[in-house]
């Protein structure tokens, strides 16, 4: 499914894979959709760049890896929406969730789904 599973259950390899994928997707979108309106760019960025499938399963990781992903998401956002390098993220006002919000919401949705399941293996 495109995820790295290691013996020590560390998600660092998967997190770093996601960093590479985010830069790849951002560069492709920036090259192909450079003349779209901001509202279309927001939908594209939300769909292809900050959709971290499986991030709720990242339980054990180095903070260095998560910090790299967090800073990469900010760099990609600035790159895609053509903001200067040192521009403040809070001043962008694009309505996109922060990385910490994405991680928290993903984990809470996963926990709620596990609690509501009728699967005998999970119970």
Which tens digit of pLDDT belongs to each residue from 56-67? 767 777 788 888
Q: Which residues contact 44 (CB under 8 A, 6 or more apart)?
A: 29, 33, 36
Span 7-12, mean pLDDT?
A: 63
- Residue among 15, 30, 25, 18 at smallest CA distance from 63: 15
27-52 per-position pLDDT tens digit: 999 999 988 898 899 999 888 888 77
Average pLDDT across the chain, whole number = 82
What pTM, to 2 d.p., does this model score?
0.75
Cα(6)–Cα(85) distance, integer angstroms: 35
Give pairs for 31-37: CB < 8 Å, separation 24+. Answer: none
Placement of tokens 């279309």 in the chain: 40
- Give the pLDDT of residue 86: 86
- Give the pLDDT of residue 32: 92
């Amino acid at each position: 499914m495109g995820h790295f599973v290691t013996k020590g259950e560390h998600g660092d390899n998967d997190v770093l894979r996601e960093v590479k994928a985010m830069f790849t997707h951002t560069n492709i979108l920036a090259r192909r959709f450079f003349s779209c309106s901001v509202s279309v760019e927001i939908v594209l960025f939300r769909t292809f760049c900050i959709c971290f499938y499986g991030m709720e399963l990242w339980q054990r990781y180095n903070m260095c890896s998560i910090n790299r992903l967090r800073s990469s998401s900010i760099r990609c956002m600035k790159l895609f929406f053509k903001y200067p390098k040192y521009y403040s993220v809070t001043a962008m006002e694009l309505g996109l969730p922060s990385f910490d919000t994405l991680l928290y919401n993903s984990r809470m949705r996963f926990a709620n789904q596990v609690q509501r399941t009728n699967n005998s293996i999970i119970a």
